[in-house]
Structure 1
Amino acid sequence: MIDFPFLADTMLKLLAALPTTLTLFFSSLVIGLTLSVGIVSLRVSRWWFFSYPARFYIMLFRGTPLLIQMFLIYYGLGQFPAIRDSFAWVLLKSPYGCAVISLALCTAGYTAEIIRGGLLSVPQGQIEAGKAVGMSPWELLLRIIAPVTLRQALPAYSTEAILLVKSTALASLVTVWDVTGVAQQIIQRTYRTMEVFICAALIYLVLNYLVVRAVAWLEYRLSPHLRERPVDVIKKASPSLPTHS
């Protein structure tokens, strides 16, 4: 029989750890997105001494497992006196800080390639048209390049955000008590693996659903031209044409 009191108690304990999972996700998402903008700026540079380090960074963090990256940051960096004496030790001395940094560094590599793909999809004709009407480079970036890049990159970035939500579960392996970490604690006390992990999976499922809906809403708001019916487009292009009901 299903033990509903146990499931309810387990769900409450896991939900109490949800703020840790959410802060892990949002912190690494924001830091990773900020880093990715700088990385992609170097990646698309015409100068090799800017482009090649960015390529190496992307290859390194996309080509190695996140778990190994997290272990190297958590167990490895603290062995160096220069790290312990630096300002970075404020973050690296805590498991939570190591988890955020490793998640952010990893997602930055993937996000940089997503943004680069969006940049490459900007039609050259639109850029030339902007230059023809006298737009400055900054105006080209804000009015043409950035909006088109964002719209093109959003579908792939939503997938990266979902993967990041699920990757936060790895933080439990460096003693961060998020949803997965608390689930493992409950299992160690009760030996009821199935029920506990089902509750945890439901929480992650809801989180990912909310992420998908948020990105879909943003994509909807940024693409008003895609919501117009063909007849509306014809009316705008030829307002003098007669219409029939």
Structure 2
Amino acid sequence: MPRFLRRTPPVAPDPGALVAEHLEAGRPTGWFEPLYAGADRDPDAVPWAQQTPHPYVVDWLDDPVVTPPGRRAVVVGCGLGDDAAELARRDFDVVAFDVAPSAVAWAQRRFRRSPVDWRVVDLLELPDELVGAFGLVVEVRTVQSLPGVVRDAAMHAVGRLAAPGGVVLAVSLVASSNEVSRTWQGPPWAQAPSELAAYRAAGLERLALEHPDPDEHGAMEVRLTLQRPAGSVPPGAGLPIVPTPG
């Protein structure tokens, strides 16, 4: 008998197979939990886990396109928690949520001392208390990881989180044309340029669209800055929520 047994590295779950299985079962966001749980705390098994804040987010926070009203922020699809922890480090009052309980627990372990309010929430089923509650909404690589049948609804939900005057910072993979997007094999999927108009349905106005040239595959990572007009109430919200001045 050996004195000890070596732990067998986890086999990375196949995101494509998980998406197909859960989409067929009518659970378009249901595949995230088995992916995180199957990763067994190995970040290399999570395709988008960089274990550092996204550089687009850091750069934006250093030099924002527009100053958010107040210091309350939310991170959509927080994953392992790096973007949320960075916002908290910069003195934002942060709520961070993910549909996968394993991801939320993982983020909490990584950032035990961070004051982030970690929650398990499905973007497609937002609780009323989050609608219109934030001066800054950060969404990084979440919408691009959702199948096309729910992406418009997801962008609409992202917009609903913004308070009157609130700012949305979104980072997503976008195809250089609708034709490229139609043949893209995901996840993640390169969004069609025309899809980005879905944010307008949530009452947002585009302030900036920044990106490099398309890569050899015809896609680029885009940074969008949007804002809800000061007098606008998010769809489905009650009375306007006035952010606390920063």
Per the TM superposition, whether the score is higher than 0.5 is: no
More strand by share: 2
More helix by share: 1
TM-score, normalised relative to structure 2: 0.26
TM-score, normalised relative to structure 1: 0.26
Higher RCO, 1 vs 2 (CA within 8 Å, ≥6 residues apart): 1
